[in-house]
Amino acid sequence: MDIVLRAAFAFAFIFFLTRIAGRRELSSLEPFDLIMLIVLGDLVQQGVTQSDYSITGLLLAAGTIALMQVAVSYVNFRFKRVRTVLDGEPIVLIEDGRVLTRNVHRERLTRHELEEQARLNQIDSLEKVRWAVLETSGAISFIPKK
Amino acid sequence: MADQPDGIVLTRHRDLHGRGWHPWLRRSLVGLVALVALLALLGFVGQSPSTTQTVTPAATLSVNAPASVRGGLLYQARFTIVAHQELKNATLVLNAKWIDGLTVNTIEPSPVNEASRNGKLALELGHLAAGAKHVLYLDYQVNPTTVGSRTLEAELEDGEQPVASLTRHLRIWP
């Protein structure tokens, strides 16, 4: 029984950690950001299954995490207010070529990182951006000026 | 005409109205995680050892072991007995909580005899001359499913005559 509780706790705790860590860590591929994502996976496995090498243990842990995922996505789908808490909300970073410094700093982003993301979207200057929005997934969407 | 992207509400997503407290909540929660790490550094969740000692005219009995451990961890309890007078048959009697839910990997040096005494573990150490010192090591691993707090009792006897006793607490974190 305890492996189910451990898996459920691990899911909830990692979800909590990723929410408080901020969105930039979710989609960023910077080396230091990757450390958290990679190392967490290994640490979580030890806490969940410990010395259980059985197929039963695998079924219980993986099944519990899958069920938690389904439950969270259902709650997200069903209740808008909960969705705001679980997923967060988008933030506008650039409006009409003007970087909204307060919003950018709030998400611990730099202008350099914004420019990098713009280049990845085939935009060579932030001044050509009509809207840039940091989405709840951690990705930045760019809408160029017409 | 508002030309913002669909789903974007400027007051909420650009001007952040009603969201001013969000960063503070996030900082508070990060602080909570940091607090747990700080408590761990201070040894609150194991496994820094501490010593409990009792002194009687007949002997000194002390135990050095962690007061907090976590599931799966290896740790050691070191019993030190100093005889102030001759103990013809020193016996260390441990209540069941010293063993229940824990794996005892080894006891060194091996006792002369081991027995159950009303559910307690009696480790017969043999003869100790006055002034002699006996150190006994118990090496453990915490069974992953064992959690909670428990009271550990240890009693030093000469034959079946109590000589010294001590009590300590062990907290096992999941």
Domain ranges for chain A: 2-87, 91-144
Question: Residue B171 corresponds to which tokens in the numbers above?
Answer: 């907290």
Cα(A41)–Cα(A39) distance, rounded to whole angstroms?
Answer: 5
Query: Looking at the predicted structure, is the pLDDT value of residue B73 above 80?
Result: yes
Q: Report if residue B1 sits inside a domain.
A: no
Residue B141: which CATH number?
2.60.40.10
Q: Which of A74, A69, A75 is nearest to A10 (CA)?
A: A69
Same domain membership, residue B141 and residue B77: yes
Query: Looking at the predicted structure, is the pLDDT value of residue A28 above 80?
Result: no
Categorize the per-residue pLDDT at A1 as very low, low, confident or very high, splitting at 50, 70 and 90.
Answer: confident
Residue B1: strand, helix, or coil:
coil
Same domain membership, residue B132 and residue B152: yes
Same domain membership, residue B162 and residue B136: yes
Q: Report if residue B132 sits inside a domain.
A: yes
Same domain membership, residue B62 and residue B24: no
Q: What is the pLDDT of residue B104?
A: 96
Q: What is the pLDDT of residues A37-55, one digit of tens each?
A: 788 888 888 888 887 888 9
| Domain count within chain B | 2
Q: Report domain A91-144's class.
A: alpha beta
Q: Tell me how far CA of residue B115 lies from CA of B91, B118, B123, B125, B141, in angstroms.
A: 10, 10, 7, 12, 21
Same domain membership, residue B67 and residue B17: no
Same domain membership, residue B16 and residue B73: no
**Pairwise CB contact (< 8 Å): B72 & A51:** yes
Same domain membership, residue B167 and residue B142: yes
Categorize the per-residue pLDDT at B80 as very low, low, confident or very high, splitting at 50, 70 and 90.
Answer: very high
Question: Residue A10 corresponds to which tokens in the numbers above?
Answer: 């691990």
Provide mean pLDDT across the span B75-97: 96
Q: Report if residue B105 sits inside a domain.
A: yes
Say yes or no: A17 contacts chain B, CB-CB below 8 A: yes
Categorize the per-residue pLDDT at A18 as very low, low, confident or very high, splitting at 50, 70 and 90.
Answer: confident
Same domain membership, residue B67 and residue B139: yes
Same domain membership, residue B142 and residue B109: yes
- Name the residue in chain B with its Cα closest to that of A23: B26
Phi, psi of A116 (to 5 degrees): -65, -45
Size of interface A-B (CB pairs under 8 A): 46
> Which residues span the domain enclosing B58?
49-173
Provide mean pLDDT across the span A14-21: 85
Cα(A43)–Cα(B42) distance, rounded to whole angstroms?
Answer: 21
Mean pLDDT of chain B: 93
Instruction: For an interface test with B, give the residue of A1, A6, A24, A91 to mutate (most B CBs within 10 A).
Output: A91
Q: What is the pLDDT of residue B19?
A: 86
Same domain membership, residue B74 and residue B15: no
Residue A78: strand, helix, or coil:
helix
